[in-house]
Structure 1
C-alpha cells in the first residue's frame, strides 16, 4: 500500500475507485448472499441458510460472483424466480455489518484530509449498488470530505467521460490529480483522461 509521503505533494486532489481499492468487494457480496440464503430458507424452509452461505463462500473464492445464482440454483434446486430477489438485494441490501475500509486505505485518506487535499470517489458498476456500499461503509468521519461520482452514469470504462466531467466540474487540471485503481482497466481509464495513475494494493 502506498504511503502519503510517496505521493507528489503538488497534487491538489486524489480520486479513488471503491471496490478492492478502499473496501473489499467481497465483504459486501458475501453479506448479500447471507441475506439471500436466510430469505430463501424463511420462505421455503429448505435449503438451510448456512449450507447456502458455505457454498457461496467457497465458490466465490474461486469464481467470484459471476454465475453465482445459476450455481446456487443447480446445487440446491431453488426456483428461478428468486434470481430477481438476489439482484434486488445487490442494489438495496441493508447489511448486518458495516463495511470497513482497508486499514492502509483509511490511513492514506486521513493523511490526504490532514494535508487539505481534495478527496473524490469515482466508482464503476451499478450506481445504486455502489451508493448502497458507500452509505454502509464506516468512514470514520471522512464522509464529510468525500465527493462521489459514478462512472456508469456517463460511459463505462475505459471511456474517461466521467473523469473529464469530474475535472471540469471541480475546476481541476489533469496535472492536479492522481487516480487510484486496481487493474489494467483502471490504468487505461486514467491514461485516456491524461491523468496520473496509481495502483493501490491493499
Structure 2
C-alpha cells in the first residue's frame, strides 16, 4: 500500500514495528555483529568478521530462524552460546541507530500535523521489541507515540483493538492498523 493511500479520517494510527517502521534486517545484522565480537572475545580466535558475514548470508538465503544453528554448526562453537545470543537480541546496545523508512517519516509528519494519535502495536517478546524501539532514530517523530505489546495484552486476555480504542476515547472502527511495509 502506498503511504499516500492511508485514510486520514481515523483517530488512531497503529503500526507494527518490524519491516513496517524500519527494516528488521538492520537490527538483526547489528546483533550478528555484536554476537561475532562476543564469540571472538570468548574463544580468543579471529572469527568475528567471517561469522558476521556467514550469519548475514544465512539470514538472506534461509531466513532468521536458520541463522544461529547454522552458525553454531559451521563455526563449531566450543560452548553453547544460545543464551548469550538471545540476551544480545533483548538487551544489546546497537552501534548504529535504526532508521525509519522514508515513507513512514512522511506519513508520521502528516499525521502529527493533523493532530492524529500514533501508536505502535507490535507482536513478539515485549522486551525484545522494546529494545528495537529504543534504537530507532525517531528524528523528533516519537512525541506522544504510545506502545502496545500484542503478546502482553493477549496474555492478560485483553483484545488489543477494543482496549486501545477505549484507552484513546474512540471506537474500534476509528483505528487503522498498518501491518505491512508502505511504499
Q: TM-score scaled by structure 2?
A: 0.92
Aligned counterparts of 1:60 and 1:174: Cα–Cα separation in 2: 37
State the partner residue of 2:63: 64
State the partner residue of 1:142: 141
Gap regions ≥5 residues in structure 2: none
State the partner residue of 1:201: 182
Q: TM-score scaled by structure 1?
A: 0.84
Displacement of 1:47 after TM fit? 4.8
Displacement of 1:155 after TM fit? 2.2
Q: Give the match's secondary structure for 2:64.
A: coil
Q: Are the aligned partners of 2:125 and 2:151 in contact in 1 as well (CA < 8 Å)?
A: yes
Number of matched pairs: 182
Displacement of 1:81 after TM fit? 2.4
State the partner residue of 1:89: 88
Q: Give the match's secondary structure for 1:178.
A: strand
Q: Give the match's secondary structure for 1:148.
A: strand
Q: Structure 2 matches for 1:1-202, cutoff 5 A?
A: 2-4=2-4, 6-155=5-154, 161-182=159-180, 200-202=181-183
Give the structure, 1 or 2, with the largest relative contact order (CA under 8 Å, sep 6 or more): 2
Q: Give the match's secondary structure for 1:60.
A: helix
Aligned counterparts of 2:94 and 2:53: Cα–Cα separation in 1: 18
Q: Are the aligned partners of 1:113 and 1:145 in contact in 2 as well (CA < 8 Å)?
A: no
Q: Are the aligned partners of 1:91 and 1:128 in contact in 2 as well (CA < 8 Å)?
A: yes
Q: Are the aligned partners of 1:13 and 1:176 in contact in 2 as well (CA < 8 Å)?
A: yes
